[in-house]
Structure 1
Amino acid sequence: MEITRSTAARRRGHHLTAHELGEKQAGVVTRAQLSRAGLSPAAIAANITANRWRPLGVHSIVLHCGPLDERAKHWSAVLEAGPRAYVDGASSLVLGGLKHFDATPLRVTVPRGARVRHRGASVDIRQTRRWNEDDIDREDVPRSRTPVAAVRAALWARSDRQADLVLTMTVQQKLATPGEIAAALLAVRRDRRRTRIDSLLLDLAGGVGSLGELDVLRGCRERGLPEPDLQALRRTSARTYYLDFRWSWFRVCLEVDGIQHGWVQNAIADALRHNTIALEGDIVLRLPVLGLKACPDDFFAQVEQALVSRGWRAPTSYGVGTSYASRPMGPPAYDVRG
């Protein structure tokens, strides 16, 4: 009888140890961890057969049979990939708080030369020559630090546009500053997107807060228009406003309207702001994000017309109405007399 009680107590102790470990890892453990906790393969199999636990892959087991939350899925991916694996790229950003960005499949990084233990359809396990312990945040699920993750997410993005989006959203949601991301970029010596990322980080540091604003800034450069101030402070007799773009010397403003500007409460506030600024002498132009995609040249022609009406001179080799594609690149000319 004593032997039976002792065995039962030992088993309870083993299960308690397993669940304590599981609490730190969102309920997910490896077979090796369970073995070190004192559970035999037969005991593990018995718990699975009894529907108390269930396997998630070759190596990991969840200590319940309920649905998995995102944290548990990330733990499972790391534990399946190997002892030095960590969540990386856009998946790490989402784990760190990035919202409204699709980071599927889940990206996991292991050192170059490591034996990849198991690959699943929903997990992308890659080897990297840039593996560095200092890049890893091990506070919870092992993941790349946010600035490092942002750089890698941009390098691995399916398109340049997606690279712009993930970096802009990371800065916009205040997960990392442009300076922090730029510091992480120093570790990247060669990549076809490195120059593009450098340029984008300078724009983000200058105040760009969305892809629409980035498109406007690039559109001005491509068309030889003077670059505006970003997130410009405009004081009126009524109050102080922040404007998306303002050519302060010429008192021309451009507001980029996203979907949220069409909401009733925003439409009223935008109209009041527009009218107040216009009444005090500024030209205020509005550019819906849809317009940037559908007919950008038409809107940029209006921007140029407004600037010319306030004293800006296009280089004499071309004037207002000249096809943008035929214009040479070069610095704009300014004339602020009068």
Structure 2
Amino acid sequence: MTAMKGPGIFLAQFLGDAAPFDTLENLARWASGLGYVGVQIPCNDRLIDLSLAAESTAYCDDLRGMLDGHGIAITELSTHLQGQLVAVHPAYDALFDGFAPVEVHGKPAERQAWAVEQLKLAARASANLGLSAHATFSGALAWPYVYPWPQRPAGLVEEAFAELARRWRPILDTFDAAGVDCAYEVHPGEDLHDGASWERFLTAVDHHPRARMLFDPSHFVLQQLDYLDFIDRYHDRIACFHVKDAEFNPTGRSGVYGGYEPWVDRAGRFRSLGDGQVDFSSIFSKLAQYGYTGWAVLEWECALKRAEDGAREGAPFIRDHIIHLTDHAFDDFAKSGADQTAIRKILGLPASEG
């Protein structure tokens, strides 16, 4: 029976100036050598010409053909940086300018328009590449007010999510026209950072059929959120899966908020697969139970371990956790063979008439 696909690897954290991290082909060759069969590609000009991919099936065929030659498929495209720019609170304007071309720096409205166009191009490019889902961020207008002190004015959160929905609805419609799901990574720093905020957004976009999510348990460890219950609640909206580990070790000095400490000194920090506290056996079981057939993609982020070591260890870790669904019940050997007549007799009922 159909199972989730993998192992895949997200390339964003590995892209660099030196081989094998400098081009998509070199990265594909490197990933294949480590045992990966898929790559999640950030929409970076060094890896993909997004405008051309949105218009040219021939370009997309050539791109896929090159990757196929290394035994690699595209899991999803990613516009995490561009998605962030769809909604930016003014407090973060200067920090997020670096995610956009220099010509729109210091111009929030133009930067937002550029980001929206990038998302629409990504929808069409994903369709041309034969992909079913796309990974992104929602951006944030309400995040500076996540802790209610001073008291939030009545209606502030509602208006923030109404505006977020107004900005995303045309993008979601473009994804719908392309036949591709738009999967938001539920992530602190985004207005969509937990189940409650996800529900607010989903209501605001009228439960748009293309509004989906990227599930990454590491962010829930750092928030102390039950990531297994999250799957139970929202499995029908999960379209992408980042396999990333984390740990949370609070003290009397620091907890969820981290005390402005660097990553290595925080109570909650990301770790390489198997080095943290995430119960991946239960996660893979839950996703298999609910019929998730998308990709399992390593996102490497670790406060301690070298990236290349995390990537090398990630492929076998994911491969060994993927559950290949059984095509028969474990107790089929003990079938009674009773037909409907026998069943009624077993229950002490008269034979059915006619």
- TM-score normalised to structure 1 length: 0.26
Looking at both structures, which has the greater relative contact order when contacts are Cα pairs under 8 Å and sequence separation is at least 6? Answer: 2
Larger radius of gyration: 1
